[in-house]
Amino acid sequence: MEWANQLCENRQFGSKMTDSKYFTTTKKGEIFELKAELNSDKKEKKKEAVKKVIASMTVGKDVSALFPDVVNCMQTDNLELKKLVYLYLMNYAKSQPDMAIMAVNTFVKDCEDANPLIRALAVRTMGCIRVDKITEYLCEPLRKCLKDEDPYVRKTAAVCVAKLHDINAQLVEDQGFLDTLKDLISDSNPMVVANAVAALSEIAESHPNSNLLDLNPQSINKLLTALNECTEWGQIFILDCLANYTPRDDRESQSICERVTPRLSHANSAVVLSAVKVLMKFMEMLPKDLDYYGTLLKKLAPPLVTLLSAEPELQYVALRNINLIVQKRPEILKHEMKVFFVKYNDPIYVKLEKLDIMIRLASQANIAQVLAELKEYATEVDVDFVRKAVRAIGRCAIKVEQSAERCVSTLLDLIQTKVNYVVQEAIVVIKDIFRKYPNKYESVIATLCENLDSLDEPEARAAMIWIVGEYAERIDNADELLESFLEGFHDESTQVQLQLLTAIVKLFLKKPTETQELVQQVLSLATQDSDNPDLRDRGYIYWRLLSTDPVAAKEVVLAEKPLISEETDLIEPTLLEELICHIGTLASVYHKPPSAFVEGSRGVMHKRLPARTGSGESTESPDVGTAAGGSAPEAAPSIIPSQGDLLGDLLNLDMAPPTTTGPPPPNTGMQMGGMDLLGGGLDSLMGDESEPPHVPPRTDILRSPSPQPLSPVYTHTDYTYTDYSHTDSPPDHSPPDHSPTEHSPPAELGGDIGGSPAMGAGFGAAPAVMPASLNAPVGGGLGDLFDLGGGVGMPMGAYIPPKTVWLPAMKAKGLEISGTFARRAGVIQMELILTNKAMSVMTDFAIQFNRNSFGLAPAGPLQVLTPLGPNQTIEVSLPLSTVGPVMKMDPLNNLQVAVKNNIDVFYFSCQYPISMLFVEDGKMERQVFLATWKDIPNDNESQFQIKDCHLNSDAASSKLQGSNIFTIAKRTVEGQDMLYMSIKLSNGIWVLAELRVQAGNPNYTISLKCRAPEVSQCVFQCYEAVLKN
């Protein structure tokens, strides 16, 4: 508020009378003064007072106490004053709902004003006031405004429908506003069309399956016509909407492309990018041999290049998108390398992005130019940029074989500069060059060794050590070099320690005579003096290998390494496809799917590129279509997964069930059970094997994927692996000469058996099945069989609670209803048993749900086709959807149901296990999990105890997976297994869980973190139910 005071003084010294003076009211008692002024008779004074109020509001002061006085000023002819009062209302109405109602009359009156500007203003503001009572009154005026004669009012009303939908979706549907909105797409005024499209697109996002936009050739034609006439912003709305459409065939696709291409010449970069998105997407459908396809490709390059002359922030957005486009269709920009050369006055974020694209475009034809540029960049001032430039030189070497020699000599030049970070970066990339071109550039090793002392970054040290170990036979003093590192072994970071261990073992295998002492030293350092389990594990493996079979050791450690592939840092193809569908948006800037940064269900739907379905060649499968779409995928470059992916693989290996490493489990309950059976079985087998004392703990067996890549895999991946996993010291790892005592307590054995489904079928699952079969005496039919099958054969499938009586016959004139909920093949089902205990026949069954917390609603009618005679029972399963109206219930999983038959309507309520709502794609990316976990405030964490559960962690994890509770990672700390799990509810809420299982302790601890902490209790109940049944 300092400046406000200063300004106050200025004013006293007679400065100009302007609006800034309103920022100056900071005295005590100002509220009273303002109150008086607001109630003044003089219009001018009133207006001044309202301005002061707004100024205070802006700087964050609470002026809500003035609510009634400000609202009193609302009825005025002065539009400026009115707008100010409205602004105030929008801010404070929510905190004072009762008083906000005072404003309603004025709004309603204003909506009928003769002046269209005032009508629009009223409807616009009303939509921003999120108070239920006001919303009710909004409907009538809104309906009128949607059909107003003035386009300005209509375009404002169109957006207002989206606002209202955000407040109360059900109301919008009930009132039929969606249909009116759809009609507006055919409005004569282009801006009305554009706003209607924007509103509909937004509403459609929260109803992914509704056919709200109903795009068809006719409506597309309307949109394309409006495209030529509306404002630049309207064009963006329409193009973004068009991008969601999938043309029927290549002809339609081409004709849309033809009508969209003129937009590429628009001065507004967002229009251009959205047009590029539509074209990139629809191009997928065009046959490649079509002339038009080639023309289109040529037309795309110039506008993309032109984007680079926009303002820097937009250049950044454009470059992030070009990065995607270049990966998808390298041919578009392959001749445009020069425009990505960095300019001295580019902001750093533009420079870094340009550099990335330069490397993607580097080819034999332009490599000389690129290298000259990169060398230039390596002498700049910004450290990050220089590092990236040096790294880029290495990537060029790997990408363009012909240039490798030149790249290496350039790197050597750079090493000569002795600039510390340049040298380190160069060494890191030279290591990769050695990997790609073994036995070619070893002559430079001497130069590298000169710089040994200056390396202080772990990555560079590790790279250097790797080089020394790998070429130990050619470096005379390799042992001395490595020994010098060994002195400070314990101060090194883990990656350096691991590397040093491997390097010394390599050295020993190459020069056994002189280095025996060295290798013994490092092995004992690694196994006995280290707290790091990875390091110790690796140490043990080497130790055992060397002591049992040196020949085998040689084969393992000095095995030929797989060559690293050409292209690095490529985005994984399915993600790339999805991102192409999001060109221009934040997703394309972050290079992440929207689900990674958007909360709730909005925009989480995954978008895919259309498959090529030419009218003549429609038989092509989608996969072929997309693969042939780009030119690159034909010789699909193999990808070095980013470090996170490798980490994932390793972590997955830690988890027993093989299903988690493969594609997501198939959806049908039957298959899922089968797979899990296998997984669980395998798990227990492995578990059994790990019992004998002299074998290292079983996680280690599982972790090394195959004997061969031991050293190469570690050199590339273990860097990050260690970042995450067991950095604490588990006491159960002991040196090999002691006999480990850990894996023996009977409790765990029991747990293993209980969890192993092969044996556990009779045990764990039986109680779950029994009541179900008891409750279904007659006519169980197929459904029951299925249930039974589920009970016996697949205890690991989704957990289904036993059926309970929901509606006793006493209360429902003879109709008894019992039932349960199940999730089968991704569909939520309500399984009902209807028994007629009355004397007369029952017919005309129907079912309805009250609004509930997760929008559960019957997806179809209740299928009771034949009349239900006395003493007859029928089993029905009713598929449910989650797009129904939402209202928070207490308890959260409470469901109120009405069942009607020819006799009466009956009401009952039941509780469904929230696990029915766990969707199949609830497995979170590990990085996302980590970030989200940190992101959710600790207040949202809740802890529960699950008592008397005798499963081991792996069995628990696979059991939970059956109910779509996915284990993402597991680590073991001090004999305690920590499982990290994610769950996604059908409404997009994520629940993260940490399950702690202590061997031998039947009590589990579970911590749940969720942005909506209300659900935690229900989720916990599910854990308990799933784990105990």
739: left (phi over 0), alpha (psi -120 to 50) or beta: beta
CA distance 238 to 213: 12
**1013 touching another protein, by CB under 8 A:** no
**42 touching another protein, by CB under 8 A:** no
Q: Residue written as tokens 């008779």?
A: 41
Shortest distance in whole angstroms from residue 413 CB to another protein: 9
Q: Which one of residues 176, 294, 302, 777 is an interface residue with another protein (CB under 8 A)?
A: 302
CA distance 457 to 461: 6
Burial of 398 (0-12, 13-18, 19+ CB in 10 A): buried
**361 touching another protein, by CB under 8 A:** no
Shortest distance in whole angstroms from residue 1013 CB to another protein: 17
The interface region with another protein, picked from 83-91, 533-541, 645-653, 826-834 by CB under 8 A, is 83-91
**589 touching another protein, by CB under 8 A:** yes
Is the Cβ of residue 262 or residue 870 nearer to another protein in the bound state? 262
CA distance 205 to 202: 5
Q: Which one of residues 75, 209, 210, 309 is an interface residue with another protein (CB under 8 A)?
A: 309
Q: Which one of residues 36, 79, 701, 898 is an interface residue with another protein (CB under 8 A)?
A: 79
**83 touching another protein, by CB under 8 A:** yes
Amino acid at 442: E
| DSSP helix/strand/coil, 849 | strand
Q: Which one of residues 30, 96, 152, 1013 is an interface residue with another protein (CB under 8 A)?
A: 152
Q: Which one of residues 254, 585, 853, 882 is an interface residue with another protein (CB under 8 A)?
A: 585
Q: Which one of residues 401, 514, 597, 907 is an interface residue with another protein (CB under 8 A)?
A: 597
How many residues can be counted in the chain?
1029
Q: Which residues lie across from 944 on neighbouring strands?
A: 1006
**127 touching another protein, by CB under 8 A:** yes
CA distance 965 to 915: 8
Please report, for residues 138, 238, 661, 967, the alpha-carbon distance to residue 992 in angstroms, rounded to integers and kept in the order given.
39, 38, 20, 10
Subset of 97-126 contacting another protein (CB under 8 A): 114-117, 120, 124
Q: Which one of residues 34, 49, 53, 54 is an interface residue with another protein (CB under 8 A)?
A: 54
Q: Which one of residues 84, 257, 280, 946 is an interface residue with another protein (CB under 8 A)?
A: 84
Q: Which one of residues 38, 66, 73, 87 is an interface residue with another protein (CB under 8 A)?
A: 87
Token pair of 119, please?
């009508």
Shortest distance in whole angstroms from residue 250 CB to another protein: 21
CA distance 219 to 214: 8
- Which residues, 6 or more positions from 301, have their beta carbon under 8 angstroms from its beta carbon? 332, 333, 335, 336
Is the Cβ of residue 261 or residue 1001 nearer to another protein in the bound state? 261
Subset of 179-238 contacting another protein (CB under 8 A): 189-192, 195, 198, 202, 228-233, 236-237
| DSSP helix/strand/coil, 188 | coil
Subset of 895-954 contacting another protein (CB under 8 A): 935
Is the Cβ of residue 203 or residue 997 nearer to another protein in the bound state? 203
Amino acid at 772: A
| Site map 824..853 versus another protein, x via CB under 8 A | ------------------------------
Q: Which residues lie across from 880 on neighbouring strands?
A: 828, 858
Is the Cβ of residue 286 or residue 928 nearer to another protein in the bound state? 928
Axis crossing angle, helix 232-242 with helix 250-260, rounded to the nearest 10: 170
Q: What are phi and psi of 739, to 5 degrees?
A: -90, 125
Distance of CA 273 to the CA centre of its chain: 24
**447 touching another protein, by CB under 8 A:** no
- Which residues, 6 or more positions from 394, have their beta carbon under 8 angstroms from its beta carbon? 407, 411, 426, 428, 429, 430, 432, 433
Token pair of 913, please?
């296990």
874: left (phi over 0), alpha (psi -120 to 50) or beta: beta
Q: How many CB atoms lie within 10 A of CB 294?
A: 13
Is the Cβ of residue 59 or residue 695 nearer to another protein in the bound state? 59
| Strand ordering across the sheet containing 941-946 | 941-946, 1004-1010, 990-998, 976-984, 966-973
Is the Cβ of residue 603 or residue 855 nearer to another protein in the bound state? 603
What sign results for the dihedral spanned by CA atoms 526, 532, 535, 536? positive
Q: Which one of residues 132, 313, 517, 569 is an interface residue with another protein (CB under 8 A)?
A: 313
Subset of 242-301 contacting another protein (CB under 8 A): 259, 261-263, 265-270, 272-274
**159 touching another protein, by CB under 8 A:** yes
Shortest distance in whole angstroms from residue 257 CB to another protein: 12
Token pair of 620, please?
């092509």
* DSSP H or E segment with residue 982: strand 976-984
Shortest distance in whole angstroms from residue 363 CB to another protein: 17
Q: What are phi and psi of 1005, to 5 degrees?
A: -115, 135
Is the Cβ of residue 269 or residue 424 nearer to another protein in the bound state? 269
Diameter of the chain by CA atoms?
104
Subset of 397-426 contacting another protein (CB under 8 A): 416-417
Is the Cβ of residue 21 or residue 823 nearer to another protein in the bound state? 21
Is the Cβ of residue 183 or residue 229 nearer to another protein in the bound state? 229
Shortest distance in whole angstroms from residue 416 CB to another protein: 7
Closest CA to 962 of 973, 951, 971: 951
**132 touching another protein, by CB under 8 A:** no
* DSSP H or E segment with residue 93: none
Subset of 324-353 contacting another protein (CB under 8 A): 338, 343, 348-349
Shortest distance in whole angstroms from residue 198 CB to another protein: 5
CA distance 238 to 193: 9
Q: How many CB atoms lie within 10 A of CB 37?
A: 19
Amino acid at 526: A
Is the Cβ of residue 65 or residue 552 nearer to another protein in the bound state? 65
Q: Which residues lie across from 830 on neighbouring strands?
A: 821, 878
Number of residues near another protein (by CB under 8 A):
105
CA distance 610 to 623: 10
Shortest distance in whole angstroms from residue 888 CB to another protein: 17
The interface region with another protein, picked from 77-85, 389-397, 401-409, 555-563 by CB under 8 A, is 77-85
Subset of 957-996 contacting another protein (CB under 8 A): none
| Site map 12..31 versus another protein, x via CB under 8 A | ----x-xxx-xx--------
Is the Cβ of residue 186 or residue 863 nearer to another protein in the bound state? 186
Shortest distance in whole angstroms from residue 282 CB to another protein: 17
Is the Cβ of residue 557 or residue 587 nearer to another protein in the bound state? 587
Shortest distance in whole angstroms from residue 238 CB to another protein: 12
Shortest distance in whole angstroms from residue 846 CB to another protein: 37
CA distance 1027 to 1007: 15
Asked if 177 contacts 164 with a C-beta cutoff of 8 angstroms, the reply is yes
**52 touching another protein, by CB under 8 A:** no
Q: Which one of residues 469, 539, 603, 754 is an interface residue with another protein (CB under 8 A)?
A: 603
CA dihedral of residues 554, 558, 559, 560 (deg, nearest 10): -150
Q: Which one of residues 328, 538, 582, 733 is an interface residue with another protein (CB under 8 A)?
A: 582
**594 touching another protein, by CB under 8 A:** yes
Is the Cβ of residue 446 or residue 758 nearer to another protein in the bound state? 446
Shortest distance in whole angstroms from residue 948 CB to another protein: 38
Burial call 616-654: b when 16+ CB within 10 Å, e when fewer: eeeeeeeeebbeebbebeeeeeebbebeeebbbebbbbb
The interface region with another protein, picked from 155-163, 397-405, 681-689, 894-902 by CB under 8 A, is 155-163
